[in-house]
Amino acid sequence: MRLSKKSVYALRALTCLGASTASEVVSIHAIARQERIPKKFLEQVLLALKKAGIVQSSRGKGGGYALRVAPAQVTLGDIIRAIDGPLAPLPCASAVSPVKCPGCLDVESCWLRGVMTEVGAEVSAVLDHITLADLCRRAALSQRRSPHVLMYEI
C-alpha cells in the first residue's frame, strides 16, 4: 500500500490541528507554513476532510480550521478513506463497489479477488486501530527526540 501525497499532507495537517487545544482554530497559512505544504494543495485537502466531517472551518478574521471531533475518535483509516477513497489493493477487492480488473474474466469467480479482499481487510483493521491521538503523540515524541542542529557562521 502506498499513500498519496494528498493523504500524507492530510495526516500532517491533522497532526498540526490535533496538537492544538480542542477549540483552537488554526489558520490555513499557519498550517501550510508549519508543515511546509503548498497552500493551494492544502485547501483541497482540508476541503475533503471537512466534507468527511473530520474538520470544521470558520471564516473571517481569526478564522481557520479545527478538528470537528476528538483526535481519539478519528482513525488513520478514516483519514485515508476521506482523501483517497476505499482501501482496496485492487479495484475488484473494493467492499463498496467492486470493479472488474483488466484481464479478469469474472469478478465473482476470480481467485485473486478473494486473496486481495483478505489483504484489504487486514490493512483496514490496522489502519482503523490507529487514531489521530496516537499520531499526535508519536509526532510530539519525535519532535522532542530529534536533535536540533544549530548552524553557526563566522
Structural domain contains residue 83: yes
Structural domain contains residue 104: yes
Structural domain contains residue 28: yes
Once rounded to an integer, what is the mean pLDDT over residues 29-50? 94
What does the mean pLDDT of the chain come to?
86
Question: How do residues 78-122 score in pLDDT, each as one tens digit?
Answer: 999 999 988 888 887 877 777 777 777 777 777 888 888 889 899
Q: Distance between alpha carbon 11 and the CA centroid of its chain, in Å? A: 4
Residue 153 pLDDT? 60
Candidate from 9-13, 88-92, 142-146 with smallest mean pLDDT = 142-146
* 151 grid coordinates: 548552524
Residue 142 pLDDT? 79
Domain tally, the chain: 1
Structural domain contains residue 146: no
DSSP annotation string for the chain: ----HHHHHHHHHHHHHHHS-TT--B-HHHHHHHHT--HHHHHHHHHHHHHTTSEEEE-STT-EEEESS-GGG-BHHHHHHHHH-S--SSGGG-SSS--PPTT-S-TTT-HHHHHHHHHHHHHHHHHTTSBHHHHHHHHHHHHHHSPPPP----
Closest CA to 54 of 84, 77, 82: 82
Single pTM value for the model: 0.82
Q: 111-127 and 76-84 are packed helices; what angle lies between their axes, rounded to 10 degrees? A: 120
Looking up residue 21, the CATH number of its domain turns out to be: 1.10.10.10
Structural domain contains residue 142: no
pLDDT category, 154, cuts 50, 70, 90? low
Structural domain contains residue 154: no
pLDDT category, 20, cuts 50, 70, 90? low
Residue 57 pLDDT? 92
**Cβ(79)–Cβ(49) below 8 Å:** yes
Residue 135 pLDDT? 94
Structural domain contains residue 141: no
Residue 4 pLDDT? 92
Domain containing 91 equals 5-136
Closest CA to 118 of 95, 100, 151: 95
Say which residue, 145 or 79, is predicted with more confidence: 79
Residue 26 pLDDT? 92
Structural domain contains residue 58: yes
